Amino acid sequence: MESGRCGGTGELEEISRHPCYNEEAHRYFARMHLPVAPACNIQCRYCNRKFDCVNESRPGVVSEVLTPEQAAQKAVGVAAQLMQLSVVGIAGPGDPLANADRTFETFRKVRSRVPDVSLCLSTNGLTLMEHLDDIEELGIRHVTITINAIDPDIGSDIYSWVYDSGIRYEGREAAELLISRQLAGLKALCERGVLCKVNSVLIPGVNDTHLPAVSRTVKSLGAAIHNVTPLIVAPGSPYEQEGRRAPRPKELHALQEICGGEGMKIMRHCRQCRADAIGLLGQDRSADFTWEKIE
Ligand code: SF4
Ligand code: SF4
């Protein structure tokens, strides 16, 4: 496979150069995440907001939050030094769409200064329907939505609360609102031709037997790929206090086989990257490109 940055417009080419959508591409093409989005509008019970969003990254050292201008300058600097860079994404450290102004300002700046990279967005999906036009107008071709349940009764064991339009929802009502928005947003994006990946966190004893139904549903709505990732319990999170555990590798692989056996394309090479990850998957070079070094 040739190296160089993403410049094609066809769907197959876009998939083939995105290291998360295509396992083969992750050996050749690099991605960078720009950590410009600190706030979140929901509370997942496995998350502690002192750490990066667990839906698209592992808890660890909190990413340095950049302003949109700093982030754009960082993208320019990294693109000049990392010729394998094909994707610039925003994945946190909170929810990018709970920080929509910062997120879209960053994408606009990156689009104009580094036009030959693909833009990628990860979100919990709560406010996706409000931003369909922004996503389309900016040419964001890859969106990841984390959908852990399609049944509000199961979702109420995963989400403590959801904050929307000035109202805080809890319990089943919160899960119902979030799930309805996620599924509507996924369907609408797929209808607009955006390539959607669905992430689901495998939570033993909560959604393990439910995830095949999630996989079938998101496939029917047009998702291109399903990424089932193992639960990471953040220190200090409600799940830590409840004593919840991560799935064993064989539990994860068995579930991936079941979901894949129903015809869905399954991602098996996710590295649960940080919200400021840079480089090939599994080779995080964010320490080489800190803001101070780029400046
Ligand atoms: Fe944490 Fe991400 Fe869930 Fe928000 S969406 S609570 S940042 S894991
Ligand atoms: Fe790709 Fe997984 Fe890293 Fe997201 S967290 S950039 S899906 S490898």
SS3 179: helix
Residue-level length of the chain = 295
List strand residue ranges (DSSP E) for 45-190, in order: 85-90, 118-123, 142-146, 159-164, 167-170
Segment 186-230, tens digit of pLDDT = 999 999 999 999 999 999 999 999 999 999 999 999 999 999 999
Ligand 1 cavity residues, CB under 6 Å: 40, 42-44, 47, 53-55, 94-95, 124
Angular region, 35: left φ>0, alpha ψ -120 to 50, beta rest: beta
Assigned token pair, 241: 């206090």
What's the distance, CA 91 to chain centroid?
A: 5
Q: Which of 54, 233, 273, 274 to mutate to test the pocket of ligand 1 (most atoms within 8 A of CB)?
A: 54
pTM: 0.90
The ipTM, to two decimals, is 0.88
pLDDT of residue 131: 97
Q: Cβ(275)–Cβ(31) under 8 Å?
A: no
* Residue 10 confidence (pLDDT): 54
Contact criterion met (CB below 8 Å) for 28 and 273: no
Query: Which ligand is nearest the CA of 88, by number?
Result: 2
- The ligand whose atoms approach the alpha carbon of 63 most closely is 1
Task: Return all residues near 184 (Cβ < 8 A) that are at least 6 apart.
Answer: 128, 129
Query: For 117-142, how does the pLDDT look when each residue is reduced to its tens digit (9 = 90+)?
Result: 999 999 999 999 999 999 999 999 99
